[in-house]
Amino acid sequence: MSERGVPVTNPFVGITYAEALRSIERRHGPREALYFRGRRYTFSDVRREVDRASARLATLGLEPGDKVAIWMPNRPEFIWYWLGASQMGLVAVFLNTRLRRDEFVYQIAQSDSRVIIVPGQPGFRDFLSELGEASAELRSGGLERGSPVFPALRHVVVCDPPSVDWPAITDWSQEDRDLPVPPVAGDPDRPALIAYSSGTTALPKGAMLTHAIWRKAYDGGNTLGLSPEDRLYLCVPLFGVLGSLNGVLTFWSHGASVVLEERFDATACLDALIAERCTAIHLLPAMISALLQNPRFDRRDLHRLRVGVVLSSDPVVLRQAALDLGVGGVVTGYGLTESTGLVTRCRWDEPLEDRLASQGRPLPGCLIRVVDPESGRDMPPDSPGEIWIGGYCVMPGYYNKPDETRRAITPDGWLRSGDAGLLRPDGTLVFQRRLGDGYKHKGFNVSVPEVEAVLGRHPNVRAGAIVSVPHPEFGEAGVAFVIPRAGTRPDGDELAAFLRARLASFKVPTYFHFVDALPLTGGTEKIQKFRLREQALALVRADAGAVSRQR
């Protein structure tokens, strides 16, 4: 049997969240699935917790397709309510924990979320109080009639005893009576998750992902050679596809376990890698530097680490992880949120130099083209162009954004990535750079138009433009070129503080440079970003006080 000519060897092809979870429990029920802060869960425990989450959600009177926003740091409840919502035909909405007020208000409203699930106590941040500050109806008890800020929102659920006593809060921190598990979704092609991707437009877009997320996870695990004996140390955020799809689901689909941590701390990470006998880790460039600089680091203690998934295409960073950190099976890959995550990847056991030189081959059922972005014609091997993605993994579209969907997906189903790359004659993909105004900082997508729009609201800024440069620790870093208003003298610290109050911290440019004018094209007078990028590279290399540096 085959699908589109691809042999069906993946047991998760064409099945739903509920079917996937039950299949995993049948095969691996008593094995450990998750460890978090001293508590261990087997795969049978996972199934019970997810079913319990579904049963609780069913008490809220929700209809299939209703949206359930999850806004919390890494903790088991994130997983229970995500999987519990998705398996019963609801749509989980992942919210970045670093969002500022304007950002989270927009995403909760734009997604039509009817429920939001947050921690009840302040910790990483006070999610509950911040929601209350944004909506008087949440504080007063009028949420059931709707809120101008959150028009669709009807329920605010907390996972801990709440720090405030507001009528709109539903407390699910306590054990409750047995509730019946609701019917589960039966159509694997329906959206089950919305993940926001900054992309290159001013407002974030919610990519709708289907139950095919499990198929992708299993194939990704094959490239890592996973078995039930593997254990992943995971501290990257669950709200991103790296932590959720490429982390939890990839390892669980192979019966492997996950050691979950709320956030990265180098000493705690080293201790956990040793104590929990971890064989795999997801790494950002800054994590690699912190581990190597930690006085407790001794690569002999990490001899069990076999695989490292590194969110970088920089060969210097990958070599550092493989040779200095000692994670021999370092891999990278290529994918977008809109392509259900990973599309290409090298195998973990290929020669290191091959893994450093490309992002690997497409996963089964995933298609890659490199085309001329103007004509759509395929480029010859080794010729750069825009990467287009096809196959089952392409999202159905952006939620409630038909125009953006039409621009992103061709009439015959190809996803325009907005990335430049080339295909080698052997079929491996080499990612080069973003074609548009976007970059990745510390593993997060940054929409340049979004940041430029906020920067332009500063009273002392007449105009500004942002480009990115490679950065050894952050992956890429933003450089803001700013024209001050006449008679003003803003500095980088002032502008960074202004942006940080309105945007997630990862979106704030790392460097600020003040200029009298920006380079413009003749006639159309568009900003010549390529010239700014050249200037930015020169300024950062010189590093002689010409730029104000932010972290």
pLDDT at 526: 63
pLDDT digits (tens, 9 = 90+) for 205-221: 999 999 999 999 999 99
**Continuous segment of H or E residues that includes residue 207:** strand 205-210
pLDDT digits (tens, 9 = 90+) for 251-262: 999 999 999 999
In terms of DSSP bridges, do strands 205-210 and 231-234 run parallel, antiparallel, or are they unpaired? unpaired
In terms of DSSP bridges, do strands 341-345 and 361-362 run parallel, antiparallel, or are they unpaired? antiparallel
Banded pLDDT at 1 (limits 50, 70, 90): very low
CB atoms within 10 A of CB 232: 25
Q: For 78-82, 388-392, 439-443, 464-468, which range has the lowest pLDDT when averaged over its residues?
A: 439-443
Q: If we measure between CA atoms, which residue out of 190, 196, 274, 204 comes closest to residue 237?
A: 196
Question: Is the pLDDT reported for residue 522 higher than 70?
Answer: no
User: What does the pLDDT average to over 276-299?
Assistant: 92
Contact 152, 139 (CB under 8 A): no
Q: If we measure between CA atoms, which residue out of 458, 442, 439 comes closest to residue 500?
A: 458
Joined tokens for residue 322: 């493989």
SS3 399: coil
Question: Is the pLDDT reported for residue 433 higher than 80?
Answer: no
pLDDT at 284: 87
Q: Which residues contact 465 (CB under 8 A, 6 or more apart)?
A: 452, 480, 481, 518, 527, 529, 532
Q: For 115-129, 191-205, 296-310, 492-506, which range has the lowest pLDDT when averaged over its residues?
A: 191-205
Which residues are paired to 447 by β-bridges? 438
- CA quadruple 138, 142, 145, 146: dihedral positive or negative? negative
SS3 540: helix
Distance, in Å, from the CA atom of 310 to the CA atom of 308, rounded to the nearest integer, reads 6
Q: What are phi and psi of 349, to 5 degrees?
A: -105, 10
Task: Return the residue matching tokens 């298609």.
Answer: 367
Calculate the alpha carbon distances from 532 to 81, 466, 481, 539 in Å.
Answer: 45, 8, 8, 10
**Continuous segment of H or E residues that includes residue 69:** strand 67-70
Contact 368, 423 (CB under 8 A): yes
pLDDT digits (tens, 9 = 90+) for 342-381: 999 999 999 999 999 999 999 999 999 999 988 889 999 9
Q: What are phi and psi of 484, to 5 degrees?
A: -70, 155
Distance, in Å, from the CA atom of 306 to the CA atom of 331, rounded to the nearest integer, reads 11
Distance, in Å, from the CA atom of 366 to the CA atom of 295, rounded to the nearest integer, reads 43
Put simply, whether the predicted model's pTM sits higher than 0.85 gets the answer no
**Continuous segment of H or E residues that includes residue 42:** strand 39-42
Question: Is the pLDDT reported for residue 199 higher than 60?
Answer: no
pLDDT at 214: 98
Joined tokens for residue 125: 């941040």
139 alpha carbon, distance to own chain's centre: 31
Question: Is the pLDDT reported for residue 521 higher than 60?
Answer: no
CB atoms within 10 A of CB 176: 11
